[in-house]
Amino acid sequence: MIPAGAGGMKQFESFVLDTSNACLWQGGVRISLPPKPFELLRYLVENPARLVTHDELLDALWPETYVQPQVLRTYVLELRKLLGDDADHPRFIQTQPKRGYRFVAVVTETTVIGHSAPMAVAAAELQPPDIVGRDRELAQLHDGLQALNAGQRRILFVTGETGIGKTTLVDTFCRQLRSTGVANVAHCQCVQGLGSKEEYYPVIEALNQLCASPEGDVVCRALARMAPAWLPRGDQSLDGNSDSINLRAGHERTAGDLCRALEELSATRPLVLAFEDLHWADSATINLISALARRLARARLMVVATYVPDKVSRDHALECLKRDLLMHHCCAEIVVRPLAKQALAELLSKELRQQNLPAGLAEFVHHHSVGNPLFAISVLDHLIAEGYLVRRSIGGSAHWEQGLPLGEMASVVPRGLLEMIELEIARLTSDEQCILEAGSLVPVAFPAWAVAAALDRDAVETEETCDTLTRRLHFVARAGEDELPDGTRSTFYAFTHGLYREVLYQRQAAPRRARRHFRIAEQLGNYFRGREADVAREMAFHYEAAGNWKQAAAALRSAARGASLRSAHHQAAEILERALRLAQNLNAADRDGEVEAIRAELESAHGAMAGGGRPKLNIRQEII
């Protein structure tokens, strides 16, 4: 763990780093960060104006684990995007090529978060017990509602990946409005498959809700007068007769009539229309929202629409509408991001109904769900079903505790999520599936050249395909670039969800996986010919995954010699211990000689350790 700094609040420009609550604030709005990016930012902020080397950061953030330095670039890229920083003209994080990073902004101690904090706190106080970690998003929704009092209509798109909590967020907001009575609310669902068959399906559902509400009589009279064709079928609210049927006769549904009726309804009381999964909506509904956003008449009208960007192409009507409205300042977008580890732990506590969680549970679930609430709950249910979490009676009360070590779980992909992920993958072309499968062979972040090597393809074309996938899929992202020894550059990519990587890895037949791992190891050797020791552990990982024990052990011995030359004798001993384990898999003809050679090198490493004794080894577990 990184030791805490002297102060709990550190300010740089408009940002405040809250080390006590592991979050970032800007203008009083709380910004949740995943654990590792937060720790990286915290370390840089607590060491301003000096060069922090790659090795120092790796030792500070992963003290017991070997990870590739490329992962730092991934997190720095994420931080720059969050802070609005520019790598070429940095205001916050300056890159020192091949050396490390320097935090260049002025850092001061503070005790004040910002003037906008009361709004976030007010929204948090309204939170019911079934939602956590969404203070900022709720505050944004309530800010939009406040603008209605000035007659300013609001269109809000709530976006995020499947399972991230968009529905829970909007449902919470709607229930708050209903409970306080500050607005008339209709909350409806778009349904897959109906968009091409039934025009205005979600709109009709919203009108049905409004007509059935306590103010339904007012709504129906307004529709009957201004948009009779939009009256719900069979409505009997007009003075107890069936005049509504006659009113509909001879009238055609037009978006303009409905817009005028909704604007009139909002004159006496704010009106909120919430549409779930707008990516399934028909084009007529999307055009209606466009009209509601662009009309000039003053109206206390708010439209909140959720959708998954991955489910619409860039030229889809919904995506085009959002981009156009954003450009003309006619809408706003609320992006729902993954939960931070602290918020996820709170979610798990609510699910298990106990404050103190079993040791390591929150970290395990967060690592495998990456903060996605749906994934997290599915992983939790999977742990219970498989007996890794058990409920026992302690002192007369039931309590959840660990039944089996979490690290022994063969697969952390629950069946329900497995089917959902497989369905997403099945929508891709066979070529795109092969690209992602090859990417899953590399831990943490995969370079385009490795994918090309695994599939024996052209590197440039492979990189272009990877770039296309990052623009379409939420679970793959660009993670930076690296320069290869021959001077060429290759882009790195990362799976934002480890569960996707695991599914893609496991769906490959073992012989195919082994062949692809072997090709990556061989390409590493080709790129770093004469400098194999620099990438020996990566080569060993791929040779081991390919079942080539002899070359894996040889690569590890090369890595150990490199560590010894740097006087890193403890590290050399750790690497040789692993090589010794791998050598046990060799056939009898090769095993004895290899084992004897490794033991001799291991004895030499122990002899070079300080104190002359053989301390207890702390073998780092490599991320795979």
Residues 214 and 276 in one domain: yes
As to burial, measured by CB atoms within 10 angstroms (0-12 exposed, 13-18 middle, 19+ buried), residue 284 is middle
Does residue 292 fall inside a structural domain? yes
Residues paired with 158 in a beta bridge: 306, 334
DSSP per position, 547-569: T-HHHHHHHHHHHHHHHHHTT-H
Assess contact for 501 and 460: CB atoms under 8 A.
no
Residues 518 and 533 in one domain: yes
Residues 64 and 132 in one domain: no
Domain boundary residue, one of 60, 84, 109 = 109
Range(s) of the domain holding residue 359: 341-407
Q: How many domains, the chain?
A: 4
Residues 434 and 564 in one domain: yes
Residues 395 and 454 in one domain: no
Does residue 623 fall inside a structural domain? no
Does residue 617 fall inside a structural domain? no
Residues 349 and 489 in one domain: no
Does residue 564 fall inside a structural domain? yes
Does residue 2 fall inside a structural domain? no
Does residue 4 fall inside a structural domain? no
**Which H or E run includes 136?**
helix 135-148
Domain boundary residue, one of 387, 407, 427 = 407
Does residue 533 fall inside a structural domain? yes
Give residue 203's pLDDT.
94
Cα separation, 280 vs 40, in Å, equals 39
Cα separation, 164 vs 172, in Å, equals 14
Residues 403 and 463 in one domain: no
Residues paired with 9 in a beta bridge: 18
pTM: 0.66
As to burial, measured by CB atoms within 10 angstroms (0-12 exposed, 13-18 middle, 19+ buried), residue 597 is middle
Residues 85 and 179 in one domain: no
Residues 32 and 72 in one domain: yes
Question: 3-state class of 248 per DSSP?
Answer: helix
3-state SS track over 492-546: EEEECCHHHHHHHHHCCCHHHHHHHHHHHHHHHHHHCCCCHHHHHHHHHHHHHHC
Question: 3-state class of 393 per DSSP?
Answer: strand
As to burial, measured by CB atoms within 10 angstroms (0-12 exposed, 13-18 middle, 19+ buried), residue 48 is middle
Domain boundary residue, one of 52, 75, 109 = 109
Residues 308 and 348 in one domain: no
Cα separation, 564 vs 293, in Å, equals 67
pLDDT, mean of each 10-residue run, the chain (624 residues) = 51 83 73 79 91 88 71 83 82 88 87 44 43 90 84 93 92 89 90 80 92 89 93 57 46 90 91 94 94 92 94 88 94 94 92 90 91 92 89 78 84 84 89 95 92 94 93 88 86 89 93 95 90 86 92 89 85 88 86 87 80 42 34
The two structure tokens encoding residue 261: 């009726």
Assess contact for 289 and 259: CB atoms under 8 A.
no
Residues 345 and 331 in one domain: no
Residues 231 and 121 in one domain: yes
Does residue 172 fall inside a structural domain? yes
Give residue 98's pLDDT.
82
Task: Report the CATH number that the domain containing residue 98 is assigned in CATH.
Answer: 1.10.10.10
Give residue 4's pLDDT.
37
For residue 273, which of 189, 172, 150 has the smallest C-alpha distance?
189
| CA distance to 135, 317, 462, per residue, from 455 (Å) | 45, 36, 9
Query: Look-up: residue for tokens 């069946």?
Result: 415
